Homo-oligomer: A and B are copies of this chain.
Amino acid sequence: MRQRPSRGAAPRSSCPVACALDVAGDRWTLLVVRDLLRGRRTYGELAAAPEKIPTNILADRLRRLEEGGMVRADLYQKRPARYAYSLTEKGLGLKEVLTALARWGTRNLPGTRVFPEFRRA
């Protein structure tokens, strides 16, 4: 069962929350964005997330984020082809969503703690 709409599917409504969830609202997409925000760049670095993201899901989410204009992939090695991933301005805009999620999680879900990279000095 696909949990995301296929490319070019009609939006469910014109609500910006619904549309935002369509492009970035599953259990994994925003974790990929989180890891790009904390400086992970390569497929290997992203695959090493503590949540043990399945590699097929990582590849799928990176592709969708790239198609949606949130992530840019730059070839940094030709043989074999290797890409460095980074957030576009549109992707960087999701930081506010992640900040809100992290704040809510820290307040409401016992035992959670933000990664050191995100802690304020």
Contacts and interface: CB of A to CB of B under 8 A. Distances in A.
Contact of A3 (B3, B96, B105): B3
A109 B20 CA distance: 8
B21 A27 contact: yes
A21 B16 contact: no
Contacts of A104: 16, 20, 93-94, 96-97
B115 A15 contact: yes
Interface stretch (A6-14, A39-47, A58-66): A6-14
Contact of A23 (B49, B109, B113, B115): B109
A77 interface: no
Contacts of A96: 100, 103-104
A67 B121 CA distance: 36
21 contacts: A11-B111, A12-B50, A12-B52, A15-B34, A15-B51, A15-B102, A15-B115, A16-B103, A16-B106, A17-B30, A17-B31, A18-B31, A19-B112, A20-B109, A20-B112, A25-B27, A96-B103, A97-B97, A97-B100, A97-B101, A99-B100
